[in-house]
Amino acid sequence: MGELLMRRKTMMIYNILFLCFLYISVASIFSLMYIVSDLLNLGCIVDHYSSSLHQHQFLDLFTRSFYFSITTLFSVGYGDLTPFGISKGIAIIESLIGYVLPYAIVINYILYNPKFFRKNSHK
């Protein structure tokens, strides 16, 4: 019984770490897409609460893009950053993935692990 409990805890920790890695990977890929679109002058992300001088710093491009990517993936954003140009389309695709991904993970878990639910429903 103790070994089974330990295995479940280990699997839960593994799943949490996997989900964190998955979300950070998706956010990083979209962040790179925002950076590339900004560098190619196809679309930028404007921070409404920082100066124009600050927004032209190269490091701010990375931090702003990653912050915008995370807020777009997990929610609808806070309103402090606005995408322009092609970045709007990238944000739409990212927000769609952010809404669909949790459901896909849950459905995938239910479909490929039905024994877990059957075992726990008889207790």
What CATH number should be reported for the domain holding residue 86?
Answer: 1.10.287
pLDDT for the residue numbered 40: 96
Sign of the CA dihedral 78, 84, 87, 92?
positive
Q: Note whether residue 113 is domain-resident.
A: yes
pLDDT for the residue numbered 90: 97
Q: Residue 85: exposed, middle, or buried by beta-carbon count in 10 A (0-12, 13-18, 19+)?
A: middle
User: Which residues, in sequence order, are bridge partners of residue 81?
Assistant: 47
- Domain residues for the domain of 101 are 27-121
Q: What amino acid occupies position 13?
A: I
Instruction: Please tell me the distance from the alpha carbon of residue 47 to that of residue 80, in angstroms, as a whole number.
Output: 6
pLDDT for the residue numbered 15: 83
**Tokens 């805890």 sit on residue:** 9
Q: What amino acid occupies position 87?
A: S
Structural domain count of the chain: 1
Q: Note whether residue 107 is domain-resident.
A: yes
Q: What amino acid occupies position 65?
A: S
Per-residue pLDDT of the chain (123 residues; tens, 9 = 90+): 678 778 888 888 888 898 899 999 999 999 999 999 999 999 999 999 888 888 788 899 999 999 999 999 998 778 899 999 999 999 999 999 999 998 888 887 777 766 655 655 555
Q: Note whether residue 78 is domain-resident.
A: yes
Global pTM value: 0.81
